[in-house]
Structure 1
Amino acid sequence: MIRARRLQFRAYSTTQNLLGDDLGPIQRNEDQHKSFRVRQDGSSLPLPPSLDPVVVSERSRWEQLKEKPNVANFTPFQKKLWENPYAHILASPPRQCRATNSLQPSALQTSLHPRPHPSTKTPWLLPVSLTTPTHHLGPPFRFLSHKFVAAHLGKKKAWKSGLYFRIYEKIGSKATHEIIWREDMPELILGLLRERLLGKLKWWFSKRGQLVGCISPWHEHIESIDHVSSILSLKSLRTHADDLKDAAASIAASSDKWVSYTAKGLPDLFDPHSKPNVTHRAPSWYQEPLLPRLQPRLQYPPLEFKTTVWRGQKVAVYSLVDLLGEEKTKELVEGSMYEGESCLVVRSGRHNVKIEMLLMELQCYTADHEP
């Protein structure tokens, strides 16, 4: 088992297969269509077909690379699929979330990679994939890109249960016990997602014709615009119900805090294993005494994503104020040709797919429960 895992780790690293003379002195036998490697004692060793230059050259005569698709020959459905950001997200490779153990598209996941601290050299798990290219970063630690998941992994070191063997092989088993998870991980990821989206939007706001101004996301105001893919609102979409929901969540968090405080101060009243004359210990599956709390399904309803209707179909509505904040939105709009607009329409097109994927990724990370 240990040897198999080592081989798996070696296969993960980027290597180049040597062919023909690069392997050393070889002897070609054209009659048998084989090549033999000449050993130091003069004997010959047959090469496997994947490394034999004779076999590789003969096989390549009958292999033809698939031509790249020509956009000009796309059918209407293929063109519509090519310009759809949701299709590109669903087409991303599925990977396992280390928090929920479920398979999710990698475009909807956050990847952390171990990196040594510049001064202490202690390994840290950092979202370097949000700032640098994703090539050759080593084994990733992936989880569903949501602030609740990132906050959950940071509690009681829940992220340690998601470490797997490839990370142990990369940094060593001893260094794995010293690996550090930043306490501000949810805010760190949020800041990097905002900076990446802001950098893309600055180019959009500097070019004419990329966006179309409109009065509001109401379907009557966008019905006359063609090829609508999504709406950018330059105002907040929060209502008074959202403020009431935040106040209710604060009251619920305060009540849970006092319930936990009371349970720890009076364990004899809540924990049956702490009562006098009890000789047995708590089983391994026992976590804490059952305490009166809000039902999770009532406290956490389904996530809400703002949409509007355009010609009978739903399109996404993104509020830049809610996603980026008022200061960054003001910095983005001031001095641009879209200053004074309340809403902007993003038209469907292949060049807009990347920015819409970034908007969706940040929206999924900051999505909250409906009030």
Structure 2
Amino acid sequence: MDLAFFDARERFTRRKQREKPYSKKSTFRKLLELNPYAQALATPIRMCSVTKTPMPKFFLQQFRLVTHPETDETWWMAQNLKKWEPPAETEPNNKLDADKTCRESAGPSAYVLSSHGLLDSMQNKRSPYAGKQRGLMHQTIFASGAPIGQYLNKALWRHDMGPFLLEIMRRRVVEQLLYFADKVEKANRRYLIKCDSWDEVKQYNHRGCMLYFEGPVGTDTAVIPQLSAMSIEKRYNGTLAVHNMQQLLTEEHIQRLRAESTVLRDGSLFLLGRRPTIDLQLLLWKLQGYVSGGSAQ
């Protein structure tokens, strides 16, 4: 019997082993889904109504037309900046309850580039974007078919919209930092880790971004710019954003963090990481882009 013959014949008739189901994700795919920057870039594309620039929705600020319940005046209201609340310990009782907790204001909406400088220029008469808030939605039609120009002409826009949104975003950052710092103190979670040197960061696996507060890091007295990056020789997550918190927040916010949290009371460098902090990492990145547009103080 020619064993080589039978082996060659069965080699091409033998059923091939099925590939692993698509649901079993690779390490790269799992890490990609946990990457806040990838999540931001994957948001739906929308058009900035002022600059006419299409980009992922994450980099835009959504505004809606709402009616004041008492004065019946129409106002432009920024969305997705409501007071932050810690995640619920238990699941909602039903879908209706879940919808109530995350529902935004209803009504026509428009998108504007999330930039402090752009919002300020809309109030500058010498700017090419002056008064652009009056033309955000002239092409929009109500479901009934009636144009909304009559509402837009009367819609009110805060003259301090740029500084107002900046302060709101800063407050949301502080609220979430205090929440995670409290979890570190009381539940021994490792959302925030104090690092005494830059090299110490490399020994941790669950890395998100770095938070730098004023002061030397170990023996390093270098001045950190508003936004920088730290490179680590790793196959995945080898680059970490370094946020200069002294420039992102005001001195009042820094003092509140120091006063209300023993974790953040001392130290100049902290590592923020793990899955529950992804929303905070996204907010820090959005705040970083907002103040980079100029005029922020």
Scaled by the length of structure 1, what TM-score is found?
A: 0.56
> Which residue does 2:289 correspond to in 1?
364
Q: What letter corresponds to residue 106 of structure 2 in structure 1?
A: L
2:229 & 2:223 partners in 1: Cα distance? 19
Structure 1 residues 92 and 160: CA distance shift in structure 2, 3 A: same
Aligned pair count reads 234
Task: Give the drift of 1:352.
Answer: 2.1
Tell me, yes or no, if structure 1 residue 343 matches structure 2 residue 272. Answer: no
Question: Which residue number in structure 1 is paired with residue 32 of structure 2?
Answer: 81
Return 5+ residue gaps in structure 1 as ranges.
1-68, 243-303
Partner residue in 1 for 2:150: 174
What is the root-mean-square deviation of aligned Cα atoms in Å? 2.9
Residue number in structure 1 paired with 2:178: 202
Match status 1:213 vs 2:135: no
Contact 1:125 1:181 in 2 (8 A): yes
Cα gap change, 1:82/1:240 in structure 2, threshold over 3 Å: closer, same or farther? closer
Distance 1:230 1:193 in 2: 18
SS in 2 for 1:205: helix
SS at match of 1:125: strand
Query: Contact 1:139–1:170 (CA<8 Å) still a contact in 2?
Result: no
Q: Is the 8 A contact 1:236 1:320 kept in 2?
A: no
The aligned amino acid for 2:138 is Y
Q: Is 2:100 aligned against 1:100? A: no
Residue matched to 2:138: 164
Q: Which has the larger radius of gyration?
A: 1
CA distance in 1, matches of 2:179, 2:149: 45
The residue number in structure 2 matching 1:148 is: 117
Larger % of helix: which?
1
Superposed CA deviations along residues 261-299 of structure 1, whole A, max 9, x for unmatched, are xxxxxxxxxxxxxxxxxxxxxxxxxxxxxxxxxxxxxxx
> Given the superposition, is the C-alpha separation of residues 188 and 167 from structure 1 closer, same or farther in structure 2, using an over 3 Å criterion?
farther
Conserved in 1, the CA contact under 8 Å of 2:140 and 2:148? Answer: no
**Alignment gaps of 5+ in structure 2:** 1-21, 84-101, 125-129, 185-189, 217-221
In structure 2, the residue corresponding to 1:130 is in which secondary structure?
Answer: coil
Write out per-residue CA displacement over residues 23-47 of structure 1, whole angstroms, 9 at most, x where no aligned residue.
Answer: xxxxxxxxxxxxxxxxxxxxxxxxx
> Deviation of residue 87 (structure 1)?
0.9
TM-score, length basis structure 2? 0.69
| C-alpha spacing 1:96/1:236, structure 2 compared with 1 (3 Å) | farther
Contact 2:42 2:56 in 1 (8 A): yes
Aligned to 1:334, which of 232, 242, 259? 259
Distance 1:180 1:360 in 2: 29
| Aligned pair partner of 1:311 in 233, 246, 252 | 233
Structure 1 residue 119: Cα displacement: 4.2
1:241–1:200 CA distance, 2 compared to 1 (3 A): closer
What is the Cα deviation at residue 134 of structure 1?
5.3
Shift of residue 236, structure 1, vs aligned partner: 7.7
Query: Hey, what's the Cα distance between the residues in 2 that align with 1:331 and 1:359?
Result: 17
